[in-house]
Structure 1
Amino acid sequence: MTGGHASGQGPGKLKRVVFAGNGYTKADLTQAYAKYRCAEMAQANKKPFFIMYESLFAAAAERPSTTPRVGLVHNKPISTVFMLMLDAPRPGVLETAVVLQELGPIVNGGPVASSTQGGTQ
């Protein structure tokens, strides 16, 4: 496995996003890539907000997360998240543009943005 991302349809309006790292990728970086991919998908669908859930159980219980769940497959980190794209804010929402701005430098290898504002509560 060399790493990479995959996305697909989850139940209902949920989308499933996965990012797998290689043997040199740290777990927190796979989380950043998965979160960034969620924001890219929301932007492509013209949705200014999205919510992430670590699992289907968390989605059913309406327990949003600010980071994807991370685990190991063959000793390589993999981050998985279910996301819901939204037109309007609600509790636990992340702003698509803010996530793209903050994580863009990390994902694209540039300087990290100084803002720590990650979403709206």
Structure 2
Amino acid sequence: MKRHLLGAAAMAMLLSACATGYHSASNPVLGLTGGYWDQPGPGRLIKVGFAGNGFITPDKVATYLLYRCAEVTQREGGSHFVFYTSLPDAISDRRSTERIVNSLGGKPATYAYILVLADAETDALSATEIVTRLGPLVKPAPKQGGAS
């Protein structure tokens, strides 16, 4: 019993000592430190978000959000997306590229609404371009080396 408690405490300390990585917030272990999420609606909009722990910078949270928006666009079969910082902006079709990161209990978090498009449109962002440009920052290649 003592071993299990020590193991759980060590895991909690390990998770809390590291900046949030790029992963789903629904992950039962990693999700404790934050992560990305998305949900439908209203209408054709998709709400996408990312929350971090106290060891991640707001800039990195904003980068992860934009990357996740591009991934969701590709998952939904689109090539471009329109980015809205709020639901009222989406209703008024006030498109943006600015990612506003707030703090929730001292931890950076943000969300946006996106409209997935099949083709390029004025002020639409290319999902492929974003995944290509931000991919190395968000999902760095594993380090080579070690024993064979």
Please classify the TM superposition score into its range, dividing by the shorter chain length.
0.7 to 0.9
- Counterpart in the other structure of 1:55: 86
Match of 2:111 among 77, 80, 86: 80
Cα deviation code 1:26-61 (max 9, x no counterpart): 101111111111111111122111011000111111
Unaligned runs of 5+ in 2: 1-31, 142-148
Give yes or no for the alignment of 1:28 onto 2:64.
no
Instruction: Name the CA distance, whole Å, in 2 between partners of 1:66 and 1:99.
Output: 12
Question: Residues of 1 paired with 2:95 and 2:52: CA distance?
Answer: 23
Q: Which 4+ runs in 1 deviate beyond 2 A?
A: none
Q: Specify the SS of the correspondent of 2:42.
A: coil
The aligned amino acid for 1:83 is I
Unaligned runs of 5+ in 1: 111-121
Give the TM-score normalised by the residue count of structure 2.
0.70
1:1-121 alignment to 2 at 5 Å? Answer: 2-109=33-140
Look at both structures and tell me which one has the larger radius of gyration over its CA atoms: 2
How far did residue 109 of structure 1 move?
2.9
Higher relative contact order, chain-length normalized (CA < 8 Å, sep 6+): 1
Distance 1:32 1:82 in 2: 15
| Stretch moving more, 60-69 or 50-59 | 60-69
Q: Secondary structure at the match of 1:6?
A: strand
TM-score (norm 1): 0.85
Q: Which structure shows the higher helix fraction?
A: 2
Q: Is the 8 A contact 1:30 1:77 kept in 2?
A: yes
Secondary structure of the residue aligned to 1:36 is helix
Equivalences, count? 110
Q: Greater strand percent: which structure?
A: 1
Root-mean-square deviation (Å): 1.2
